[in-house]
Every structure is written in C-alpha cells, then in structure tokens.
Amino acid sequence: MYSSRQTLALGSFFGLIIIGVISLMLLLWLWPKYTVYRKELNGQAALKEAEWSKQILIEEAKAREQASLMQAKAKVTLAKAEGEALLERAKAEGAADIERAKAAAEANRIIGESLKNNESYLRYIWIKGLQDGKGERIYIPTEAGLPLLEAGALK
C-alpha cells in the first residue's frame, strides 16, 4: 500500500496540519490577551504622560508665582528707595534753607549794627531816595502823629 516514504510524508503533512491548527488555536487564545496587555501598556503610558504634563504645569505655575513675588518685592524695594531718597532730599533742602536763613539773619544783624548811631548816612540814603523818586507822595508824621497830606498841593 503505502511505502514508508509515503507514510512518512503523510505523517509529516498531518503533523504540519496539527501544528498549524494548534498554532492557530494558540494565536486565537493569545490575541485577546495581547490586545488587553497592549491597551494596558498604552493606558500606563498615557497616565505617565498626563502626570508629567500635570507636573510641568505645576512647575510653570510655581515659576510664575515666584516671578510675581520677585517683581512685587522689587517694586516695594524701589518704592522704599525712592521714599528714602525723597526724605534725604527734603532733609538736605531743609538744612540749606536753615543755612540761608542764618546767613540772612547774620547779614541783617551786621547791617543793623552798622546803621546804629550813623544818622548822617541814613539821612544821605533818604535824600538820595528823594532825588530818585518820580513824583511819589511822601507822608511825614507831625507832632500829633498825623501825617501832612497833600503838602505838594500848596504850590
């Protein structure tokens, strides 16, 4: 009937068919598990990506907050420095005003001292002022303390 060679070929053929059927069954059994496993890995990757995105947003928010705080501190420091500068300027201007007032008081004292008991110089300045006048009226007090009014009208 069949030679041993044909039997071996037929056995190999059936063996290949059995191996193919077993492989197909194994593939059909493993494919859903592999699909679930692949989706699980994709889900884990997506979760990790979401966590990293969240962490990045948190760090960016912290950086913005720190930048805002630093800007606010810089504005406060600048305002303090400007206030201190204005205060120092006001103190310096006040000290300069005091020194000017002292100098003016000293000049007035010196002028006042020089005019004491110097009737002739004062009279000279008065006459000089009368000569330089341009039709101004001068009121001279009298004995009763009342000034002579319109003395020039007698002309």
Q: Which amino acid makes up residue 95?
A: A
Which has the higher per-residue pLDDT, 154 or 122?
122
**Reported confidence tier of residue 52, pLDDT bands at 50, 70, 90:** very high
DSSP 153: G
Separation between Cα atoms, residue 72 and residue 76, nearest integer Å: 6
**Reported confidence tier of residue 71, pLDDT bands at 50, 70, 90:** very high
Separation between Cα atoms, residue 115 and residue 122, nearest integer Å: 7
Rounded to the nearest integer, the mean pLDDT of the chain is 85
* pLDDT per position as a tens digit, 75-92: 999 999 999 999 999 999
* pLDDT per position as a tens digit, 19-37: 999 999 999 999 999 999 9
Q: Is 145 left (phi over 0), alpha (psi -120 to 50) or beta?
A: left
Q: Which amino acid makes up residue 61?
A: A
Separation between Cα atoms, residue 139 and residue 154, nearest integer Å: 15
Separation between Cα atoms, residue 86 and residue 92, nearest integer Å: 10
pLDDT of residue 155: 47
* pLDDT per position as a tens digit, 94-118: 999 999 999 999 999 988 888 788 7
The answer, as to whether pTM is greater than 0.85, is no
Strands (E) in the chain, as ranges, are none
Separation between Cα atoms, residue 121 and residue 114, nearest integer Å: 10
Separation between Cα atoms, residue 128 and residue 118, nearest integer Å: 16
